[in-house]
Every structure is written in C-alpha cells, then in structure tokens.
C-alpha cells in the first residue's frame, strides 16, 4: 500500500480510490453536515448562471458539480475532473439519476487538464488544492482555464492560529481520526494534519493566486477560521 504522504499524487489518488464508497457519509459525520453550507457559500461567490461553462476540479463524488449543473440550465454545462476513478464512478451514478443535468466527467490531473485555455466561465475546487503536489501550479492551471473576468472558488481547510489552531488539532485528533477508525480507515484521515502543515496560509494563497495571474484574490475564513474560501477573479 502507498503511504499517505501529503502532496504525493499516487498516494492521494489511492486514498480517494479507497474511501470513495464512504466519502459522502464521512463528510456529513465529520462536519455535522456543515460542509454543505460551506459549499453553498462557494457557489454563492461563483454566481453560476444559465448558459455558463463551468469546471469542478478535484470533483470527488460530484456533489458540487450536481448543484452547479442545475444552475447553468439551459444552455450551460459542467465538467467534473478528478484523478481517481472510484469517486468519478460514484459521481457518474449520481449524475445518471438526474439525466436532465448537463454534466460530463473526466479522469485527469488538476495540474494538467489538457483542456483549452480560456474555455470556461467559472470553476470550483473543494478540498482539492491542499492535496495537489504544487498548489501554486494548481492555481496557474485554474487561471489558464478561465476566461478573463471569470470567477473561481477554492474551498478547503484553513491554517488558523491561536485558539482556533488548538481546536483544529483537537478536532482532527479526537474526532476525525477516531471516527475514521470506526470505518476501518484511520490512516486515510490521519494524513489531514500533515497535509495542513504544508498548505499555504490564506495570505499565501492570495499571493500565489495573484502570481498565477488572477486580477483579484481574497481569502475568507469560515467556521471560526477552521475552513477558508479563496475567492478569485480572472
């Protein structure tokens, strides 16, 4: 088995291949369902409209892509991209249950999608940027895909300080890992704390986004600083 080393593409892909059947249930348990609220805040920033072409990078099991697809009808479409096949299979089944939604799925690398430049009006990454080998390169690829003026929303764990940081460590060690252990996959979620140590802070994400060519970048703390939403304009 590949060890779950943060930033290792093979390890991250294996992780999500293995947890795909339990991923949505665990997200609901570990966030008390609040991940849905945070994702809707990302969608509120994106402002999806009928006719738009949107991309969900690191789409996982497709929950965001499904919501976006309902917003871009008629005339629009949503492409969900993920490196792991198992979450995409779950996403495809969910999409097939709503065949009227304009959805497509593609297995691929978020750092090198192979898509045409300036080919989308907006994009989201939810809990994916932190898992990339190079978050700065991920933001550069995101900017390349967006048309000028297009919006992007990047939702992920935040790197807080002080009391919030201590609470986050407590949450990860005393709730996340023990809960995952009950599902027989503690090592899959034990990597979270390590992945956060290498993840850029909110201010660093803003700087990386501007270096990538975004005209505007604002990192907004959510959930008392435990989560963060990077709001971008191409």
Strands 53-57 and 227-233 turn out to be unpaired
Q: How confident is the model at residue 89 (pLDDT cuts 50, 70, 90)?
A: very high
With pLDDT > 90 as the criterion, what percentage of the chain qualifies?
Answer: 61
Q: Kindly report, residue by residue over 92-150, the tens digit of the pLDDT.
A: 999 999 999 999 999 999 999 999 999 999 999 999 999 899 999 999 999 999 999 99
In a domain, 105, yes or no: yes
| pLDDT of 1 over the 50 cut | no
Mean pLDDT of 217-222: 96
Q: What contacts 24+ positions apart, CB below 8 Å, involve 109-112? A: 109/9, 109/83, 110/57, 110/58, 110/81, 110/83, 110/138, 110/141, 111/137, 111/138, 111/141, 112/141
Q: How confident is the model at residue 233 (pLDDT cuts 50, 70, 90)?
A: very high
In a domain, 3, yes or no: no
Q: Whole domain around residue 49: which residue ranges?
A: 9-233
| Overall residue count recorded for the chain in this entry | 234
Query: What's the confidence (pLDDT) of residue 72?
Result: 98
In a domain, 137, yes or no: yes
| pLDDT of 4 over the 60 cut | no
Please tell me the total count of domains within the chain. 1
Greater confidence (157 vs 78) lies with 78
pTM confidence score:
0.85
In a domain, 2, yes or no: no
CATH number at residue 20: 3.40.50.150
Q: Kindly report, residue by residue over 31-87, the tens digit of the pLDDT.
A: 666 778 889 999 999 999 999 999 999 999 999 999 999 999 999 999 999 999 999
In a domain, 1, yes or no: no
């Amino acid at each position: 088995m590949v060890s779950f080393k943060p930033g290792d593409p093979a390890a991250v892909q294996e992780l999500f291949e293995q947890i795909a059947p339990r991923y949505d249930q665990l997200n609901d348990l570990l966030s008390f369902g609040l991940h849905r609220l945070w994702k809707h805040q990302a969608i509120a920033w994106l402002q999806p409209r009928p006719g738009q072409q949107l991309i969900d990078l690191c789409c996982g099991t497709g929950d965001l892509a499904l919501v976006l697809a309902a917003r871009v009808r008629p005339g629009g479409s949503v492409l969900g991209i993920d490196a792991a096949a198992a979450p995409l299979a779950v996403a495809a089944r969910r999409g097939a249950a709503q065949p009227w939604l304009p959805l497509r799925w593609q297995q691929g690398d978020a750092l090198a999608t192979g898509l045409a430049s300036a080919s989308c009006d907006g994009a989201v990454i939810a809990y994916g940027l932190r898992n990339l080998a190079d978050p700065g390169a991920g933001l550069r690829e995101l900017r390349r895909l967006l048309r000028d003026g297009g919006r992007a929303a990047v939702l992920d764990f935040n790197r807080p300080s002080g009391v919030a940081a201590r609470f986050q460590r407590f949450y990860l060690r005393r709730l996340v890992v023990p809960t995952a252990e009950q599902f027989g996959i503690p090592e899959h979620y034990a990597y979270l704390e390590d992945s956060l140590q290498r993840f850029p802070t909110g201010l660093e994400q803003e700087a990386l986004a501007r270096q990538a060519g975004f005209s505007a970048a604002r990192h907004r703390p959510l959930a008392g600083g435990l989560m963060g939403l990077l709001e971008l304009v191409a």
